[in-house]
Amino acid sequence: MKKKACFFFISLLFICHQVKAQADTILSRYKQYLLGTVKPEGDINLMLGSLNAEGQWPDINYTDTEKANWKNLIHLKRVRDLALVWEKPGSALYHNIQLEKAINLGLNHWLDKRYRNSNWWHNEIGVPQYMRDIIILMKKELRPEQLKAALEVMAQHRVQENWVGANLTWSADLGFHYGTLTSNVRMMELCRNLIIKEIRISTEEGVQPDFSFHQHGARLQMYQYGAAFLKENIRLAWELRGTAMAFPKEKIRILTDFALKGWQWMARGIHTVPGTMDRSASRVNALNNADLREFIPYFIALSPENKNAFCQLDEIQQGKGALTGYRYYPYSDFAAFHQKDFSFFLKTISSRTLATESINSENLKGNLLNSGDAYLIRDGKEYFNLMPVWNWACLPGVTTFVGADKVNRQAFTGSVSNGQAGLTVMDYQLENKDKSKLLRAKKFWAVAGSKVLCLIAGLEGSGITAAYTTLDQCRWRGGESVNDSWIYHAGFAYIPLGAAKISLHVTDATGSWKEINAAESNTPLTEKIFMPVLEHKTLENGNSGYVISACKNAKEAARLVSGPQWKVLCNNKEIQAVSFNDGTIMAAFYQPGVLKTGQGHQQLSVDQPCLVLISNKKIWLSNPACKPLKVRLGINDQYKVVELPADGSSTPVRFH
């Protein structure tokens, strides 16, 4: 009996030793991540010099009540940043005594006051996250009563098993590290398993089957909630690699696919557009949130088989090279088109996705986002931090009228593509607040090579007499050239189709971040804006359009207009179609119909509404309504029945 008891005791000691060793490894890796990845912001010496005897910084409003950008949280962030500098080998202030005193002073102030906000996120996620970092960086230096109090603040986190997406990842990640710091193996296992469970592909919130990301319903939140989900999970997977709690390989695959098939396509390098992040576009510096460079080593360590792909992603994010091709994300109504010299992004909306949100006093003017807003990026300066001075009634790509307030979501919104070129359509409706005014149209965007061709058909209004389409609203770069039939600016030619006319507005615009996000600064900012606008002066079944083409200079723009490389085959409420000089044809059928393709006597026919793309003697079809559909496709006198899937993806068709 004594031998059995002794064996049990020794086994228990061995298990405890293993658990402690595993916890030490995990915490050591997290510290390594902090020191290698997280960069302190601001002037450290200024932080040191301005901290007063009460442990406060005079420039922080400690009575702030903002729900979004809560100023009190800056205090903890500064304490964390000071701790990073104190603990980083090679730092000029590495283990500096005065710096350590300042850290303790600032930390003790928070531990004494324990500030709280009416927004649960700050209390249960934001504050515990900074406190976790401070504890892990300074644990060996903290007095027992300090550590106890700091762990109490960290314990404000709340792990809710029914949470989803980034919120679940944030809370369970905190719970896991709290368990690690307090030797609570049961909590570690519970939180790790919750995180693993949430790394999945579904049509609920989180990673979608097309590798876009939803949060707060069917809203594209790629570089806000999606960023938290991806970065926190990759970092945690890296922490746990080689331990008994390591992430399963299939979960790593989902994360790497999310990065390679979704994340990198919705940005040009590190530069993205408002359509990818919903209300977060109203935050300072948000349009550079696609930057993943600091996480590339973690991806490679976890997925060495994808090393080349992640090295290429890293190169592209450093501005060396670009993706090439077209991707459409039917679960989020988003299109991305990349070429060597530019990228084009388009955010539409359907009955399957939700309008942009405005909560916590953010996104105060963005009610028309996701209404067909379209963006052109060459170097990322086009829209970066331009949102405060934007005219939000003139979003790039949006067709609208004075007083428009809301987009009415329709089913027939989608795309067809062969991976290199593509077509997106949107059954378009906008109304004003009291619903006394309504605008309808069929909108069509065909992208191929260096061209973006937009058609507008069936433009009609109720209670309105005029409308307009803003072709772009970007930062003015100078050197524009204006002609009766085209405008050139910063590497792009803007060309109206038919009798349509473009008016150009180059103006100094002034605004503040606070006008679009109550938590941001009210300091006035002024930028010069370049804004070409297509005027729709008649709304009696109006049909019009325009082309935007990448061009090296104004002379090239002039040559392009005199010898267009495209042809509008049809533009009405029944069919919209174009062809390009390389033989590519893109067509949207809003009802059964026949189209003369302009290639000899060739005719294209369908017996159902659908989208068709023909290129290099190959054909692709899709149903933008995202329902199963059988289409009888005809090329002259040859016919074939094609079964289209319910997810809106493109189906290749072979004619024998």
Beta strands in 286-360 (DSSP E): 325-329, 334-338, 343-347
At 259, which amino acid appears?
A
Residue 655 — pLDDT band, cuts 50, 70, 90? confident
CB under 8 Å to 223, separation ≥6 — which residues? Answer: 266, 267, 272, 276, 277, 280, 286, 289, 290
**Which tokens in the block code for residue 125?**
């996620």
Looking up residue 339, the CATH number of its domain turns out to be: 2.70.98.10
Residue 453 lies in a domain: yes
- Within 10 angstroms of residue 157's Cβ, the number of other Cβ atoms is 23
The per-residue pLDDT for range 223-264, each reduced to its tens digit, is 999 999 999 999 999 999 999 999 999 999 999 999 999 999
Residue 8 has pLDDT above 70, yes or no: no
Mean pLDDT, residues 190-199:
96
SS (H, E, C) 170-202: HHHHHHHHHHHHCCCHHHHHHHHHHHHHHCCEC
**Which tokens in the block code for residue 33?**
């991540």
Per-residue pLDDT, 4: 54
Residue 541 has pLDDT above 70, yes or no: no
For residue 57, how far is the Cα from the chain centroid?
34
Residue 274 lies in a domain: no
Domain count, the chain: 2
The per-residue pLDDT for range 522-535, each reduced to its tens digit, is 999 999 999 999 99
CB under 8 Å to 171, separation ≥6 — which residues? Answer: 124, 125, 157, 158, 159, 160, 163
User: How far is residue 254's CA from residue 234's CA, in Å, rounded to a whole number?
Assistant: 11
Is residue 304 classed as helix, strand or coil in its secondary structure?
A: helix
Residue 592 has pLDDT above 70, yes or no: yes
Last residue of some domain: 123, 156, 189? 156
The chain-wide mean pLDDT, for the chain, equals 95
Last residue of some domain: 129, 156, 183? 156
- Please report, for the chain, how many H helices and E strands are present, in that order: 14, 30
Residue 190 lies in a domain: no
Residue 381 lies in a domain: yes
User: Which structural domain, as residue segments, surrounds residue 491?
Assistant: 327-653
Residue 298 lies in a domain: no
Last residue of some domain: 156, 171, 205? 156
Q: Crossing angle, helix 2-37 and helix 127-138, to 10 degrees?
A: 110
Residue 334 has pLDDT above 90, yes or no: yes
Residue 494 lies in a domain: yes
Residue 14 — pLDDT band, cuts 50, 70, 90? very low
**DSSP letter for each residue of 81-102:** HHHHHHHSTT-TTTT-HHHHHH
Looking up residue 65, the CATH number of its domain turns out to be: 1.50.10.100
Q: What percent of the chain has pLDDT over 90?
A: 91
Residue 114 — pLDDT band, cuts 50, 70, 90? very high
Whether 457 and 543 have beta carbons less than 8 Å apart is answered as yes
Is residue 564 classed as helix, strand or coil in its secondary structure?
A: coil
Whether 611 and 589 have beta carbons less than 8 Å apart is answered as yes
Closest by CA to 164, choosing from 118, 202, 138, 129, is 202
Mean pLDDT, residues 454-474:
96
CB under 8 Å to 96, separation ≥6 — which residues? Answer: 86
User: How far is residue 468's CA from residue 401's CA, in Å, rounded to a whole number?
Assistant: 6
The per-residue pLDDT for range 378-401, each reduced to its tens digit, is 999 999 999 999 999 999 999 999
Residue 382 lies in a domain: yes
Per-residue pLDDT, 346: 99
Residue 585 has pLDDT above 90, yes or no: yes
Beta strands in 226-372 (DSSP E): 325-329, 334-338, 343-347
Residue 13 has pLDDT above 60, yes or no: no
Residue 11 — pLDDT band, cuts 50, 70, 90? very low
Per-residue pLDDT, 1: 53
Mean pLDDT, residues 122-147:
97
Residue 620 lies in a domain: yes
Q: What angle (nearest 5°) sits at the alpha carbon of residue 568, between those of residues 566 and 571?
A: 155
